[in-house]
């Protein structure tokens, strides 16, 4: 029986790798236009780098083991802890704001499902050292420009944006007790993925007032104007004013940007370290998981490294993105053919063919030739099979 890749892992034959290379090429092109510079880190990190951030429960989702030096290590499940460690190590020397990106391969031991494997490649884009919403707008504008570069439009993708601080203030206005807010967040995070009746029952179990339950169940359709009006007499007025500025900056950064953006307080992001504005990109039909997600995590660097700097970022995986592009007929990258195929007549020595191949390759062309004597018809057939753009016959 032939050996196969492990469950949740992928073989990239040339025709699949050219698609992955295309996705990464677009990623790099757009983020570099936004002045982000590329970095990378090791795929293997100390286990406590992840447990310190996410708690011991994350261990069940990791590929972790004790190495030959008796160290507890794990294959990286995400890039943010590595990013925080690296920034923290050189925080004083880095120009602020720091704009970095990476395209790591990440590993998680979890149940396979549509759009989620046990390994994937991900674009990570982060900004460190700027607390104002200008940075938040720049980050989301970059993510949307990536969608545009792939040929996607606002009819294909929507960015659902929120602010965890505004959500918290809004929940307080609904008389939701502070002690229940983490549990309420967990329900809100699943509003789009579980039946409303189940969400309602979970909120009832928290003994929330019925008007609060009704309002929470409709968070995804609550307008920014409604939230502004509700909070106009509260200390959160400055937060809504800042969010209004954020929306204005997005309109300046993204041509015809309004159709791309939707205010949605039900976007909380499952990771507890987010502290402010958060967003997720979805296909408008609801067929796929989130294409991209991120937001502000101003306390994470301090918690992991002791360096207190504001920060924000997003991650965009290749699996869901590739599925979406393929569905829309936009993943059309194909293997490029050989530039030149050298055909040798029967009396031409192989060394002469090789010298000509070397000369042409030195000019930047890709060149192929038969590695053993063959008839001219057979060489012509091989050239066609290789997709050669030209053939040169040596006599």
Angle, vertex CA 320, rays to CA 256 and CA 14, nearest 5: 115
Q: What is the pLDDT of residue 271?
A: 62
Longest dimension (CA), the chain: 93
Asked whether residue 33 carries a pLDDT value surpassing 90, the answer given is yes
Q: What is the pLDDT of residue 233?
A: 86
Q: What is the residue extent of each domain of the chain?
A: 14-327, 340-394
Phi and psi at residue 379, in whole multiples of 5°?
-65, -40
**How are beta strands 98-102 and 157-163 bridged, if at all?**
unpaired
CATH assignment, 14-327: 3.30.930.10
State mean pLDDT over 285-304: 93
| d(C-alpha 6, C-alpha 118), whole Å | 9
pLDDT digits (tens, 9 = 90+) for 64-87: 999 999 999 999 999 999 999 999
Asked whether residue 1 carries a pLDDT value surpassing 80, the answer given is no
| d(C-alpha 340, C-alpha 253), whole Å | 44
Structure-model confidence comparison of residues 293 and 272, the more confident one: 293
Query: What are the tokens at 183?
Result: 């549990």
pLDDT digits (tens, 9 = 90+) for 247-280: 999 999 998 888 999 999 999 886 678 899 999 9
């Amino acid at each position: 029986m032939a050996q196969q890749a492990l469950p949740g892992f992928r073989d990239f034959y040339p025709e699949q790798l050219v698609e992955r290379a295309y996705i990464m090429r677009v990623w790099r092109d757009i983020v570099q236009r936004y002045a982000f510079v590329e970095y990378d880190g090791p795929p293997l990190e100390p286990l406590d780098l992840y447990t310190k951030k996410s708690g011991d429960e994350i261990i069940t989702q990791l590929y972790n083991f004790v190495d030959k030096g008796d160290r507890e290590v794990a294959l990286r499940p995400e890039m943010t802890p590595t990013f925080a460690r690296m920034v923290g190590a050189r925080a004083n020397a880095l120009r602020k704001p720091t704009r970095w990106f990476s395209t790591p391969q990440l590993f998680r031991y979890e149940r396979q499902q549509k759009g989620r494997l046990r390994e994937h490649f991900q674009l990570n884009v982060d900004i460190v050292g700027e607390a104002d919403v200008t940075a938040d707008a720049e980050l989301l504008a970059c993510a949307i420009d990536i969608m545009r570069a792939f040929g996607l439009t606002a009819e294909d993708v929507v960015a659902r944006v929120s602010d965890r601080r505004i959500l918290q203030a809004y929940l307080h206005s609904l008389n939701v007790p502070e002690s229940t807010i983490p549990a309420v967040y967990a329900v809100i995070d699943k509003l789009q993925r579980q039946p409303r009746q189940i969400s309602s029952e979970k909120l009832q179990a928290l003994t929330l007032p019925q008007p609060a339950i009704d309002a929470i169940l409709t968070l995804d359709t609550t307008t920014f104007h409604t939230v502004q009006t509700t909070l106009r007499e509260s200390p959160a007025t400055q937060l809504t004013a800042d969010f209004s500025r954020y929306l204005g900056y997005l309109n300046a950064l993204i041509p015809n940007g309004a159709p791309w953006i939707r205010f949605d307080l039900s976007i909380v992001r499952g990771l507890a370290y987010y502290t402010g504005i958060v967003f997720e990109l979805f296909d408008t039909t609801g067929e796929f998981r989130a294409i991209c997600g991120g937001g502000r995590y101003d306390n994470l660097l301090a918690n992991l490294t002791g360096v207190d700097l504001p920060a924000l970022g997003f991650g965009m995986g290749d699996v869901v993105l590739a599925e979406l592009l393929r569905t829309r007929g936009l993943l059309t990258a194909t293997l490029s053919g050989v530039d030149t195929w050298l055909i040798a007549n029967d009396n031409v020595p192989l060394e002469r063919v090789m010298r000509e191949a070397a000369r042409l390759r030195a000019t930047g062309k890709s060149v192929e030739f038969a590695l053993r004597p063959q008839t001219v018809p057979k060489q012509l057939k091989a050239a066609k099979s290789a997709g050669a753009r030209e053939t040169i016959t040596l006599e």
